């Protein structure tokens, strides 16, 4: 699945790739190369999403914590 990056952000147009290229990290698996030396792994994206959701749930008790949906 491609990372949704249709063009470089204007602030980074001189350093970012125009599109995100798929890559393989030997320890974390699937990744995307977004600039010459920057790779974003699927695992890192997932971990950051879960951390963000957990943080939001800790600040608002009305939210359902990740993994506890029924």
| Burial zone of 11 (CB within 10 Å; 0-12 exposed, 13-18 middle, 19+ buried) | exposed
pLDDT tens-digit profile, the chain (70 residues): 455 555 556 666 676 667 777 889 899 999 988 888 888 899 999 999 999 988 888 888 777 766 665 5
d(CA 41, CA 22): 10
The verdict on pTM exceeding 0.75 is no
Question: How far apart are the C-alpha atoms of 42 and 69, rounded to whole Å?
Answer: 22
Enumerate the domain spans of the chain: 10-59
């Amino acid at each position: 699945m491609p990372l949704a990056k249709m063009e470089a952000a204007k602030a980074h147009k001189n350093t970012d790739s125009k599109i995100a290229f798929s890559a393989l990290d030997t320890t974390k698996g699937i990744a995307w190369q977004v600039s010459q030396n920057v790779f974003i792994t699927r695992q890192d994206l997932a971990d950051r999403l879960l951390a963000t959701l957990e943080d939001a749930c800790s600040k608002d008790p009305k939210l359902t914590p990740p993994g506890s949906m029924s």
